[in-house]
Structure 1
Amino acid sequence: MGKGGMSREGHGEEENMAAWLVGINTLKIQPFILPTLGPQDVRIRMKAVGICGSDIYFLKTLRLADFIVKEPLVIGHEAAGIIEEIGSEVKHLEPGDHVVIEPGISCWRCDLCKDGRYNLCPEVKSLATPPVHGSLANQIVHPADLCFKLPDNVSLEEGAMCEPLSVGVHACRRANVGPETNVLIMGAGPIGLVTMLSARALGVPRIVIVDVDDHRLLVAKSLGADETVKVSTKIEDVSGEVVQIHKAMGARVDVGFDCVGFSKTMTTALTATRAGGKVCLVGMGHHEMTVPLTPAAAREVDVIGIFRYKNTWPLCLEYLSSGKIDVKPLITHRFGFSQKEVEAAFETSARGGNAIKVMFNL
């Protein structure tokens, strides 16, 4: 598979270590050899790395959808750090710059890339998606054009939050939300919350957020949800819960975001959204689901999906710098970079509970 081992020999630098996923529920901090620095690459000392739901899926099952971990993999892809070295052709960055990284490396040659939809590139190499190594390491090498300089008033931790925030921004763009759109969000986990923050930044006047967990609903309310609705996991409760959602909204639901991706959450979103509205599937909880598409089609409810994000980093950084979006309250737990702390951090994130975003400070 990719390259493991030390940071570049002969530079008199310390050994480069990374968190490797070596088996189900097994992470080990081991050496990680970096690839040679290309003319358009940069070498980055990682400072802030967040744990994503996909990292947890890989840890628990060694797979997510069609991506399977077949050999040891460096994990992590929500990341920010400080430039240590630049390639000979890099002009817009220099050593010492604080940067956030966009983790997907597209081919830039296929029709989708040329059409600007590079997130759908069939050849995309995404950090921490097998077999491509991730960023939970002392240092990584990454293309310079996928590194964005942080504004002076945006911290490295906030920079690392640009990756999940990008999912929310991309979802809101796909659904074309704005000042005349009332929004329903299924799920008050990290992605539901960043979708809510993105919708508000884009001018959405009313947002109702739905979850099964009281604590997450309290967090959603504290971050600006207009109303929250607690629901069950039972599919037979959908019709009654839709009545509650409509009451909480006090108006029609123009766009529903399913940030969970279960048959029940998608059924609720499709049923609650008005005729002629849109439902955007963001979460991928179930590989396949059974939903009432025919009644939704009869009401001309458009169903759209998203995959990751595209061209979102500059806007995310502008939102963070201007204060339009504050992601700091989402970071609930912090850990250092030792074997014990890496294990504890992933246990904390997997357990859920009060944990929203678990962050490593390297």
Structure 2
Amino acid sequence: MLPLASNSDPNFRSKTIKTPLPNPSLQVTADHNLKQVDAPVYSPGPNDVLLHIKATGVCGSDIHFWKSGRIGSLVVEGDCILGHEAAGVVLQCGDGVTDLKPGDRVAVEPGVPCGDCFLCQDGRYNLCEDVQFAGVYPYDGTIQRYKVHPAKWCHRLPDNVTCSEGALLEPLSVVMHGIKSAGLSLGRGAVICGAGPIGLIALTSARASGAHPLVITDLEPRRLDFAKKFVPSCLTYQVDRNLDAESNAKMIRALFGVETRQGGGEYVAPETVLECTGVENSVVTACYTARRGGTVMVIGVGKSIMNNLPFMHLSLAEIDLKFINRYRDTWPTGLQCLAGKILDLKPLVTHTFPLENALDALNTCADLSNGSIKVQIVDEKDHVL
């Protein structure tokens, strides 16, 4: 498997090329700073394409790498271009590329697995330990004008799907993998913890999947107001900071009613909880919210160690506490959801910034007082070489 184009990857063998336009990029540094600099432009190697990135969404992980310098074992040890939620236009094709041509609009699947390990061979390539993931040191990401990427991991956009929507396929893929793993049931209740971009995509996807009723929770009332407008049939719950996790869970469960079957036992309590924040207290609340025999699917990214999980409650209630790592085999189906208008994610993009002002985009995303949901960085320059 050929490596991603990265000026920090010693195995990368392609040559730099000159372009009539500069290649502005947004890079994170090992000392927790951001800088906007022109990056090299590489020619596509065999089986690669050179892309003009037209839209990149800012993800919470980009903020984590900037502010904390790491996510679990993923550590920023040097300069690295951020960004992985992207779509763009093919400019050049390397030798061996037959499925794409210059001018094609594509969504970028940012992870390039090794293809040889037992997980890749088993089809679980999202768990590959040697994955080269765009925007994770040392592999440069998509907040730049020009990027080389393997053609295999570029998915052609239908004519009725914009590059902005194409860039939303990455967070949609996270949700799709979580929903598939959780096994949402038609007509069964579900809770979504967190009304950020992932939580809101989970909310509308759960609705499209037939789960009902739906409750979404958050600390921020403005995000809950947005959720209610985005999916009018949902119920909302503002998490009470003055209550413990078990008490908040009791309030959430009350929204589903109190009906019981003869002989006792929960009937309408939520079967599935999609935890989309990764915050420890929210995960604990989710554990107390799911009904006995239910499922808690942790989609959000949290801290490395959580000490307060209610182990015996989970055990006695036989609640499945499950996790996902990114996604696999989701881009084709995600494209069908957008092209077929099963999902409309366009309202989630509340702020856009030109590539040259990418730093402002990250600052806007990092400050919740700005009221952003999904911030995107776009490049309207002509894609010429």
* TM-score interval (norm. to shorter): over 0.9
Residue 10 and residue 310 in structure 1: after superposition, are their counterparts in 2 closer, same or farther (change >3 A)?
closer
2:375 aligns with: 358
Q: Is the 8 A contact 2:182 2:295 kept in 1?
A: yes
Find the aligned partners of 2:51 and 2:248 in 1 and give their Cα distance: 48
Matched, 1:278 2:286: no
Aligned to 1:137: 144
Give TM-score scaled by structure 1 length. Answer: 0.94
Change in Cα spacing, 1:256 to 1:297, as seen in structure 2 (3 Å) is: same
- Per-residue CA deviation, residues 291-345 of structure 1 (Å, 9 max, x unaligned), is 102111111101110011111111111111111111111101010122xx22211
| Shift of residue 239, structure 1, vs aligned partner | 3.1
The TM-score, its normalising length taken from structure 2, stands at 0.88
Q: Secondary structure at the match of 1:253?
A: coil
Whole-angstrom CA distance in 2 between matches of 1:264 and 1:115: 35
1:247 equivalent in structure 2: 254
Q: For 1:231, which of 228, 239, 243 is the aligned residue?
A: 239
Contact 2:218/2:237 (8 A) holds in 1: yes
Alignment RMSD (CA, Å): 1.8
Show CA shifts across 1:197-245 (max 9, x none).
22222222221011111001111111215200111345x5333322321
The answer to whether structure 1 residue 296 and structure 2 residue 286 are counterparts is no
- Confirm or deny that 1:306 pairs with 2:324: yes
Residue 344 of structure 2 corresponds to: 326
Count of matched residue positions in the alignment of Structure 1 and Structure 2: 357
Equivalences for 1:23-172 in 2 at 5 Å?
23-24=30-31, 26-172=33-179
Structure 1 pair 291–46 and aligned structure 2 pair: CA distance change class (3 A): same
How many angstroms does 1:25 deviate by?
Answer: 5.2
**Counterpart amino acid of 2:140?**
H
2:275 aligned with 1:258, yes or no? yes
SS at match of 1:274: coil
Task: From the superposition, tell whether residues 91 and 217 of structure 1 become closer, same or farther in structure 2 (CA, over 3 Å).
Answer: same
Secondary structure of the structure 2 residue equivalent to 1:197: helix
Distance 1:31 1:261 in 2: 34
CA distance in 1, matches of 2:352, 2:15: 29
Unaligned runs of 5+ in 2: 9-13, 258-267, 380-385
For 1:100 and 1:334, the matched residues in 2 are separated by: 18
Q: Tell me how far apart the structure 2 counterparts of residues 127 and 158 of structure 1 sit (CA, whole Å).
A: 19
Structure 1: runs of 5+ lacking an equivalent: none
- Alignment map for 1:339-354 (pairs within 5 Å): 341-353=357-369, 354=371
One-letter amino acid matched to 1:277: G
Which residue of structure 2 lines up, in the alignment, with residue 21 of structure 1? 28
Whole-angstrom distance in 1 between the partners of 2:127 and 2:192: 24
Q: Deviation per CA, 1:36-69, whole angstroms, max 9, x where unpaired?
A: 4222111100100110000001111221211111
Query: Does the 8 Å contact 2:17/2:43 carry over to 1?
Result: no
* Corresponding residue number in structure 2 for 1:269: 286
Question: 1:240–1:11: structure 2 CA closer, same or farther, 3 Å change rule?
Answer: closer
2:191 maps to 184
Change in Cα spacing, 1:276 to 1:135, as seen in structure 2 (3 Å) is same
Task: Give 1:159 deviation, angstroms.
Answer: 0.3
Quick one: which amino acid aligns to residue 3 of structure 1?
A: N
Superposed displacement of residue 252, structure 1: 1.6
Amino acid at match of 2:310: P
- For residues 94-124 of structure 1, the C-alpha deviation after alignment (integer angstroms, 9 at most, x for no partner) is 1101100000000111111111110000100
In structure 1, what is the equivalent of residue 264 of structure 2? none
Q: Is the 8 A contact 1:169 1:199 kept in 2?
A: no
4+ runs deviating over 4 angstroms: 7-12
CA contact (8 A) 1:168 1:196 kept: no
SS of aligned partner of 2:255: helix
Offset at 1:9?
A: 5.3
